[in-house]
Structure 1
Amino acid sequence: MRRTTTAVLLAAALGLTGCGNGKPATKPSPSPTVRKEDAFLSAVHAANFTSWQSQGPTDDELLTYPPKWCDGLDAGHSVKYLFSSGGAFLYPIGEEWGTKEAEADELLVMAVRVYCPRDLAVVKDELRASGNY
């Protein structure tokens, strides 16, 4: 009786844990983590902005903007303020390159989508209200 009870309990335990099906138990493998910087730059490179056809920013130059934009948005500033020379002066422009307004707006949306998605709806609403998105 004792052997029968032990065998029944062992079989039940194996069946409940999935070990009794003859296949090894598999754990889901973690998905690879994509760095924010890589996700943002990948989107930017795919966009192929016409503003940057002859001269554009380096990746390092581009990567300076998203954290500053998110900080400004988190502080309650508008897109207009972020891009304004009288405001945060964070319009994406360099000494030898510039960005058309519509492309600057799109660049901001790409950055916000990756770096601070909590602000995405506010940014899109503001751009839509201004007729720029």
Structure 2
Amino acid sequence: MVEEVSSGAREGGVRRADVRRAWHRGLGVLISVVRWFGTAAAALLAVHVILTIGNANPDNGITKFVASWAEWLALGFQDLFMPADPKLEVLVNYGVAALFWLVIASLATRVLSALNRPSI
């Protein structure tokens, strides 16, 4: 005798509703990770700008740590603009990189959120 399941068809012993729920939960986690990473990247770049403009000791461990991560996160924006003042150069280039991370994170979360909408 075959037993019918009224709450959703079974696929290999797993209900479609369970798969859908897991999909939405996984995408929700991914959306949070992308949002946090973009915000953290922008914040680290902003801290680098503040430390540079504020004349932080370049030999300090914190300053070295932030500068090394900022260099990696700048993704080629480090020398996009070349004003005469080195502090202005850091402000503009790393500021643009921070804005880039915020925009990319925002766009990615919008795309992922669109995928995470429940189907009708």
Between the two structures, name the one with larger relative contact order (CA 8 Å, sep ≥ 6).
Answer: 2
Indicate whether the TM-score tops 0.5. Answer: no
- Structure with higher Rg: it is 1
